[in-house]
Amino acid sequence: MRFIDYLDKGASLGADAPCLTMDGRDLSYGEVQRLSYRIARGLERSGIAPGEKVAILSGNDPLAFACVFGISRAAAVWCPINPRNEAAENKFILDAFDCSLLLFHSSFAPMVEAVRQDLPKLRALVCLDAELPFAPSFDRWLAGLADDLYQREPVDDLAMIPGTGGTTGKPKGVMLSGRNIETMTALTLMGYPFKGRPVYLALAPLTHAAGVLCFPIMTLGGRIVIMHHPDIGEFLDLIARYRVTHTFLPPTVIYMLLDHPKLDAAELSSLQCFWYGAAPISAARLAEALRRIGPMAQLFGQTEAPMMISMMAPAEHYNPDGSIAMARLASAGRISPLVQAGIMDGDGRLLPAGSRGEIVVRGSLVMQGYYKNPQASAEASAHGWHHTGDIGYIDEDGFLYIVDRAKDMIITGGFNVYSIEVENALRAHEAVQDCAVIGLPDDKWGERIVAVVQPRAGQAIDAAALAAFVKQQIGSIKTPKQIEIWDDLPRSKVGKVLKPDIRARLAGC
């Protein structure tokens, strides 16, 4: 399936049904379809051939997301650009991914104007909401083009090239095929509850997880309610107003939701599935979310194997007697039905259940490779498996547990310590909002465990008392030798904690 097939499937269930909603205004499935025909024609008129790369730079916006379907209908390849990127990163992506045309919102006009002269491959610019001296408006670009059925045949199955959301180095282009997205969609529909015509609320950026989760919603003719920017109060209001059934938030925003004064009075009875993922979550805060919000649902994946390497549906968060399955909350769920996964040692041997090693996966969820980077592609697919870079284990019941990033393991006093285990112990403290654990050079221990802790709003943390709390849970070897209290943690554009930045700041401490 191509992206247009999800739109067309939804339209076949009711062309007049709302498809994309923002600020109280709807675009119906039929309207998005007709717009996609015109966009495809506009791309052809601009000289974009099948297989060429078209980038979109915009915050959350229905028109920008509708362009994804026009790109697909033109048999071009979508390159989503994170709106939080700096100009230098956007220039690198547009050049390295061979983008021929850029659709952008006027709020990014100064950035686009600053970099466009250094991008000879970028042949055309279109501004979505304004007429600019160096770019025609979207309306002028589409002027005179018909909105009846039109589409071109693709040259291959390449559907999109997102950049890796890593915390170090330049982004790599991940080649995701239509088959990858189809597998992710199938897993979503088979693994999570869907009753009736769903309503999905997108607060997180549509360039990432919130965007690809729209495709399974569209196969059921569901409505996608889009938010401009994160606002927890508005988020709660929209759930009630539109009877939202599905949504996704990363853990950091879930913590903000749990601390919001409107939460307990909010009308949340329509929720069927509240996805969380993209970063580790505190088991204590997750249990709180289960009590106060309801049907939480985990997903684990990465850009190279989108969203659904493992899944934990709402029901699996509970024991048969209805109590919260606390021990299971630390897991990333069960390996998905259409994914093969294993735990591998450094020599390429698969390890038995319960053994710790690198999490490796294969199957139709896994990317085609990194764009124009055969060396990185070969390294990621060594021994015939995709290497996630995460250390973990799979228990006897098939639940996956992630214990660290391979590069973040700490060796202290001859013992291997996984930072996530220490972070989970820290997050169990009622005053801790978030934290990060790293290893720093130490004359005595080789590496000493250092924790940087962000307190919850209005809470004070005593470092010695927190260390004693952690020691009681996981023992003295894994207890941080140094605890720093910071108001906030440095984060990437997609909300991941930047441990290299923490190391740099603490160097010499």
Residue 165 has pLDDT above 80, yes or no: no
Instruction: For residue 414, give its domain range.
Output: 409-506
With beta carbons less than 8 A apart as the criterion, state whether 127 and 104 touch: yes
- Condensed to tens digits (0 to 9), the pLDDT of residues 425-456 reads 999 999 999 999 999 988 778 789 999 999 99
- Domain stops at, among 130, 146, 163: 163
* Neighbour-count burial of 206, counting CB atoms closer than 10 A to its CB (0-12 exposed, 13-18 middle, 19+ buried): buried
With respect to residue 450, please indicate whether it lies within any of the assigned structural domains.
yes
Residue 167 has pLDDT above 60, yes or no: no
Please report, as a single letter, which amino acid is at residue 264.
Answer: D
What pLDDT is attached to residue 469?
95
Q: How confident is the model at residue 409 (pLDDT cuts 50, 70, 90)?
A: confident
Please report, as a single letter, which amino acid is at residue 475.
Answer: G
H/E stretch holding 54 reads: strand 53-57
With respect to residue 188, please indicate whether it lies within any of the assigned structural domains.
no
With respect to residue 140, please indicate whether it lies within any of the assigned structural domains.
yes
- Domain stops at, among 117, 146, 163: 163
- Condensed to tens digits (0 to 9), the pLDDT of residues 23-36 reads 999 999 999 999 99
For residue 478, the domain's CATH number is: 3.30.300.30
Mean pLDDT value across residues 69-84: 95
* Neighbour-count burial of 415, counting CB atoms closer than 10 A to its CB (0-12 exposed, 13-18 middle, 19+ buried): exposed
The DSSP code sequence of 464-498 is HHHHHHHHHHH-STTS-SEEEE-SS--B-TTS-B-
In degrees, rounded to 5, the angle at the alpha carbon of residue 54 between the alpha carbons of residues 49 and 58 is 155
The phi, psi pair for 351, rounded to 5°, reads -105, 155
With beta carbons less than 8 A apart as the criterion, state whether 318 and 325 touch: yes
For residue 37, the domain's CATH number is: 3.40.50.980
CA pair distance 79, 81, nearest whole angstrom: 6
With respect to residue 227, please indicate whether it lies within any of the assigned structural domains.
no
What pLDDT is attached to residue 75?
98
With respect to residue 474, please indicate whether it lies within any of the assigned structural domains.
yes
Q: What is the pTM of this model?
A: 0.85
The number of domains in the chain is 2
With respect to residue 126, please indicate whether it lies within any of the assigned structural domains.
yes
With respect to residue 415, please indicate whether it lies within any of the assigned structural domains.
yes
What pLDDT is attached to residue 284?
87
pLDDT > 90: what percent of the chain? 79
Return the closest-CA partner of residue 65 out of 20, 18, 14: 20
- Condensed to tens digits (0 to 9), the pLDDT of residues 343-369 reads 999 999 999 999 999 999 999 999 999
With respect to residue 40, please indicate whether it lies within any of the assigned structural domains.
yes
CA pair distance 200, 407, nearest whole angstrom: 36
What pLDDT is attached to residue 169?
62
Strand duo 53-57 + 124-127: pairing: unpaired
Residue 38 has pLDDT above 80, yes or no: yes
**Residue 51: beta bridge partners?**
none
- Domain stops at, among 110, 129, 163: 163
The phi, psi pair for 324, rounded to 5°, reads -70, 130
Q: How confident is the model at residue 372 (pLDDT cuts 50, 70, 90)?
A: very high
Range with the lowest mean pLDDT among 198-212, 345-359, 370-384?
Answer: 198-212
- Condensed to tens digits (0 to 9), the pLDDT of residues 259-282 reads 999 999 999 999 999 999 877 788
| Alpha-helical regions (H) of 324-373 | none
CA pair distance 470, 465, nearest whole angstrom: 9
Return the closest-CA partner of residue 360 out of 372, 343, 345: 343
- Condensed to tens digits (0 to 9), the pLDDT of residues 230-263 reads 899 999 999 999 999 999 998 888 989 999 999 9
First to last CA, the chain: 54
